């Protein structure tokens, strides 16, 4: 038996080891990306540079919200059209209390003053204004200044970040970190109309009311004839339409009246309401008139008059102090707009957005978070409509590669067009018959699985496509566009002068206007608005769409997908026929 003097030091050593604190466990990697080829790092970000850091918290009941949304959007379901209240949606979108507690304890321990934090209505997002130095410490990362190889723009981003184990499972995403997207307006530059050609059009104003005139120049009257809304008298009180504006795009009131005087005489003197969000402006000088903003508001107003229209001008998130790193706020804008509208008690029944970016420049966690916010709008009865993009299946062949390190050739889907909880609109041209516009964005998401409402329609297309393009697209992904509308040669006024533009930016507000008129008819008949459209369009509403069977959407060095009978990733299910859709919707 060992003697006590020998055992005692060993016992004391063991006890002292037990008393020592355990070393801190290292944080867990949350997200890592490769910067897109179009961005290259310049230097470390200035430590004092201010970031608007948005933390999206885990939402354990989001699948319940998805289920509720699909039930209430399905004309065959007994809950169809019973849209949820703001409080009901927020209850399903809310994080678990333990998630809130864990995140707040972590932030407080790190010295973050939570009194200045902004909280979303459902409590699922926390926004903090922090210097880069503190953000780096929180996220165990390093921020760098990146420059865009083509435009020279600068942004402050990181390629990876980590979170403590105590909060890792409680947070969905943190941005701006790995988000390199640059949302762009989905339309061509303004093409000036020569005075002689424009005078000839004015002399033939009556002919512009015929559907066939869409072959040469699109006006509200030709769209009304083509899509069968001519003669429908809307109400000023039944429903409302929202138009989103980003990237310092300002809708000009004088241009609107000039456009109305020529092409929507009954609307002269009326206008849209402008709502400023997060530093958005309403600059009304002729030089500041935005082609995108004017296009959207002029056609939405002309096609839906006298339905109230709202233009949301979303800027950067204040407070923001320009410095040597960035000259403007580069937070992704959809989140700012969503934070604003989800807090509203009353929402427009339809919202049209003509902006998007390559899906792979948006981290998947962030895309999922934003898409779920669109689902929240849908559950409250809002039809969320997006343009499908203007690069067919992708841009030039040199850019059609994955950004995951594998560098594999692939088509490039667009986001938010690829979100399954929005209705995505492609482009057509000509008339009698309409054909696919060659730039019409379409394809398959690499992030979102194919929703049940479109499975049958997409399967029919894929069986026809066969093995063509195998490996270039995700056949099991959410497929888009859902529908289409005219997208070439739209006459607009910008800065006091007429011009024409092309793009799915033309198509989205056109289709949104048709849905707005359908909602007007439904509400006046004592029925709910259409809300999330896709289950209706792929089902009972299909007979109210004109199938587009010719044309393709070239891109990535290929001829792209081919339009054909049934759904296709060029023109979707087709273009709207208002009178038929109205009957099918029961109005």
How high is the pLDDT of residue 317? 40
> Is 548 marked as a binding-site residue?
yes
Give Rg (Cα) of the chain: 26
Q: How many CB atoms sit inside 10 A of residue 191's CB?
A: 11
Domain with CATH 3.40.50.200 in the chain: 235-585
Q: Where are the alpha helices (DSSP H) in 242-290?
A: 253-263
Is residue 558 within 8 Å of 544, Cβ to Cβ?
A: no
Is residue 113 within 8 Å of 107, Cβ to Cβ?
A: no
CA distances, 210 to each of 258, 416, 578 (Å): 21, 34, 16
Nearest 5°: the CA angle 58, 63, 66 is 120
How high is the pLDDT of residue 193? 67
Strands 545-546 and 171-175: unpaired
Q: How many CB atoms sit inside 10 A of residue 324's CB?
A: 9
Is residue 123 within 8 Å of 98, Cβ to Cβ?
A: no
Profile the chain (587 residues) by mean pLDDT over runs of 10 residues. Answer: 53 56 81 89 92 95 98 97 98 98 96 92 94 96 91 89 97 94 65 57 55 85 96 93 88 96 95 91 87 95 97 66 49 79 96 91 93 97 96 91 91 96 97 95 98 98 97 98 97 93 96 98 97 98 98 97 98 98 97
Sign (positive or negative) of CA dihedral 271, 220, 377, 117: negative
> Is 551 marked as a binding-site residue?
no
How high is the pLDDT of residue 320? 37
> Which helix (H) or strand (E) covers residue 427, if one does?
strand 423-429
What residues are paired with 15 via a beta bridge?
none
Strands 423-429 and 483-486: parallel
Please tell me the distance from the alpha carbon of residue 177 to that of residue 45, in angstroms, as a whole number. 12
Strands 490-494 and 435-436: unpaired
Please tell me the distance from the alpha carbon of residue 546 to that of residue 485, in angstroms, as a whole number. 10
How high is the pLDDT of residue 404? 86
Q: What is the pTM of this model?
A: 0.92
In terms of C-beta density within 10 A (0-12 exposed, 13-18 middle, 19 or more buried), how is residue 17 classed? Answer: exposed
Please tell me the distance from the alpha carbon of residue 441 to that of residue 103, in angstroms, as a whole number. 40
How high is the pLDDT of residue 357? 87
Does the structural domain 235-585 have CATH classification 3.40.50.200?
A: yes
> Which helix (H) or strand (E) covers residue 506, if one does?
helix 504-524
Q: How many CB atoms sit inside 10 A of residue 34's CB?
A: 16
How high is the pLDDT of residue 419? 98
How high is the pLDDT of residue 314? 87
CA distances, 529 to each of 225, 270, 370, 532 (Å): 24, 24, 23, 9
Is residue 159 within 8 Å of 33, Cβ to Cβ?
A: yes
Residue positions annotated with a catalytic role? 292, 296, 505
How many Å from the N-terminal Cα to the C-terminal Cα in the chain? 97
């Amino acid at each position: 038996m060992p003697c006590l003097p020998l055992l005692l030091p060993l016992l004391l050593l063991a006890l002292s080891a037990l008393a020592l604190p355990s070393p801190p466990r290292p944080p867990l990697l949350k997200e890592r990306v490769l910067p897109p080829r179009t961005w290259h790092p310049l230097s470390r970000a200035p430590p004092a540079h201010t970031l608007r850091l948005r933390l999206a918290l885990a939402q354990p009941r989001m699948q319940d919200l998805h289920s509720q949304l699909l039930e209430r959007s399905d004309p065959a379901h007994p809950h169809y059209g019973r849209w949820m209240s703001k409080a009901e949606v927020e209850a399903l979108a809310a994080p678990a209390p333990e998630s809130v507690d864990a995140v707040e304890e972590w932030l407080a321990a790190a010295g973050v003053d939570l009194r200045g934090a902004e909280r979303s209505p459902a409590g699922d997002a926390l926004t903090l204004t922090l210097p880069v130095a503190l953000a780096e410490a929180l996220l165990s990362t390093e921020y760098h200044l990146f420059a865009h190889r083509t435009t020279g723009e600068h942004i402050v981003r990181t390629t990876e970040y980590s979170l403590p184990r105590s909060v890792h499972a409680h947070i969905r995403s943190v941005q701006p970190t790995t988000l390199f997207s640059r949302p762009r307006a989905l339309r061509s530059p303004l093409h000036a109309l020569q005075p002689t050609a424009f005078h000839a059009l004015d002399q033939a104003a009556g002919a512009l009311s015929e559907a066939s005139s869409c072959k040469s120049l699109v006006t509200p009257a030709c769209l009304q004839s083509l899509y069968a809304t001519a003669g429908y008298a809307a109400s000023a009180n039944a429903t409302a339409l929202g138009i989103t504006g980003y990237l310092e795009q300002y809708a000009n009131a004088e241009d609107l009246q000039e456009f109305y005087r020529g092409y929507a005489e009954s609307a002269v003197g009326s206008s849209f309401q402008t709502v400023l969000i997060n530093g958005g402006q309403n600059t009304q000088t002729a030089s500041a008139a935005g082609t995108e903003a004017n296009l959207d508001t002029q056609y939405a107003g002309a096609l839906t008059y006298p339905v109230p229209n709202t233009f949301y001008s979303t800027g950067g998130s204040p407070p923001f102090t320009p410095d040597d790193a960035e000259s403007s706020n580069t937070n992704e804008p959809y989140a700012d707009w969503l934070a604003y509208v989800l807090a509203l008690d009353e929402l427009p029944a339809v919202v049209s957005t003509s902006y998007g970016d390559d899906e792979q420049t948006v981290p998947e966690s962030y895309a999922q978070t934003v898409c779920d916010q669109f689902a929240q709008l849908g559950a409250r009865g809002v039809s969320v409509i997006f343009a499908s993009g203007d690069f067919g299946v992708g841009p030039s062949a040199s850019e059609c590669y994955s950004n995951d390190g594998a560098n594999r050739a692939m088509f490039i889907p667009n986001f938010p067009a690829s979100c399954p909880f929005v209705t995505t609109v492609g482009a057509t041209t000509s008339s009698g018959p309409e054909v696919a516009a060659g730039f019409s964005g379409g394809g398959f998401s690499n992030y979102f699985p194919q929703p049940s409402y479109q499975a049958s329609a997409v399967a029919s297309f894929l069986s026809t496509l066969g093995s063509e393009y195998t490996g270039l697209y995700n056949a099991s992904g959410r497929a888009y566009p859902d529908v289409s509308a005219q997208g070439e040669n739209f006459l607009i006024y910008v800065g006091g002068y007429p011009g024409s533009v092309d793009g799915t930016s033309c198509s989205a507000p056109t289709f949104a206007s048709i849905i707005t008129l359908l909602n007007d008819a439904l509400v006046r008949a004592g029925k709910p608005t259409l809300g999330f459209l896709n289950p209706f369009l792929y089902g009972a509403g299909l007979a109210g769409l004109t199938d587009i069977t010719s044309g393709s959407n070239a891109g990535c060095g290929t001829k792209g997908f081919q339009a054909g009978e049934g759904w296709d990733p060029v023109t979707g299910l087709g273009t709207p026929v208002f009178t038929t859709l109205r009957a099918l919707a029961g109005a």
